[in-house]
Amino acid sequence: MEQAGLRDAAALVGRARRVVVFTGAGMSAESGVPTFRDALTGLWRRFDPQALATPEAFEDDPALVWGWYESRRRAVLSARPNAGHAAVAAIEARVPGSVVVTQNVDDLHERAGSAAPVHLHGSLFAPRCSACARPAPLPDDPTDGGPVDSRPLHGGPADGSPADSRPLPGGPADGQPVDGGSVDGPAGDGRVPPPECARCGAPVRPGVVWFGEALPEAALEAAVDAASSCDLLLTVGTSGVVYPAAEIPRVAARFGAPVIQVNPQETPLDEVCDVNLRGPAARVLPALVEAAWGVPRVS
């Protein structure tokens, strides 16, 4: 990442009053949570994520899909927010008018202290009935799964005390994939039959948005409102290929906001951004916050 880009980006961040931080799977990569494209490891490596993350796949083999999401959820529970998540929370603390919009289904932004990230693609921690949509308890959640927003921050102690959000710069071992302990069904092939809904008996499904499903209206509206009225958008760790989420940085640019991208690779958003910081989020974001406000990096 060259210094001139960092200086330009820091000047934009330092004078911004309404920032949108738009994040994808690359945000959690250095916490050891595989990106969406890498998410298929082990037992699921022979599948295409886009084929598995669909209602049809769940309909066809609920145990395969539920097992995959359970293994991803346990990996997130074993991960910790990284210095990039902490830097995003620092931006929110410095710029009260900022909004985090994430495509990620993990809870690492929350555990790093982000108040209310907008989850465009749902969450691994909000399972619901596939038929009557009743919120369902998490398999290892001793409560009865009451209203989703009454649950303690996930990854933290069950009594709801503040989750342990000390970020580990670079993740548990510099981004080595975390293994949440293999979720294994009776057949030992990773397939785990989903729980049944307490009300109607239908299979419980993960609380994520699958391909071919509409995004939650309120979340998409909040994201478009924020992007169309911000004075800076930071897009971090996304391949920018899944719509309509990938439209969000373009909305900000259309309304005249400068766009800064943080990603070690090229993406279609290269053509949209004003400053392109080529590098990993857990290194670039703390450097950006320090250059903007002189805030010492999270050690």
The DSSP annotation for 25-71 comes to THHHHTTTPPPTTT---GGGTTS-HHHHSSHHHHHH-HHHHHHHHHH
- 117-176 residues near ligand BV8, rule: CB under 6 A: 121
> Does 63 engage in binding with ligand BV8 (CB under 6 A)?
no
CA gap 73, 75 in Å, rounded: 5
Active site residue 109: no
Which residue is nearest to ligand BV8, using beta carbons? 26
Judge residue 55's burial from the number of C-beta atoms within 10 Å of its C-beta, 0-12 exposed, 13-18 middle, 19 or more buried: middle
Q: Contact at 8 Å (CB) between 81 and 31? A: yes
**Closer residue to ligand BV8, CB minimum distance, 86 or 231:** 86
Kindly tell me the sign of the dihedral angle through the C-alpha atoms of 18, 22, 28, 30.
negative
| Residue 35, binding choice from Zn ion, ligand BV8, none, Cβ under 5 to 8 Å by partner class | ligand BV8
**Closer residue to Zn ion, CB minimum distance, 93 or 200:** 200
> Does 198 engage in binding with Zn ion (CB under 5 A)?
no
| Residue 261, binding choice from Zn ion, ligand BV8, none, Cβ under 5 to 8 Å by partner class | none
Work out the number of other CB atoms within 10 angstroms of the CB of residue 2: 10
Query: What x-and-dash track marks residues 200-219 binding Zn ion by CB under 5 A?
Result: x-x-----------------
DSSP conformational letter for 115: S
Q: Footprint of ligand BV8 on this chain (CB under 6 A)?
A: 24-26, 29-30, 35-37, 50, 53, 103, 105, 121, 208-214, 237-239, 241-245, 262-265, 267, 280-281
Q: Footprint of Zn ion on this chain (CB under 5 A)?
A: 129, 131-132, 134, 197, 199-200, 202
Write out the catalytic residue numbers.
121
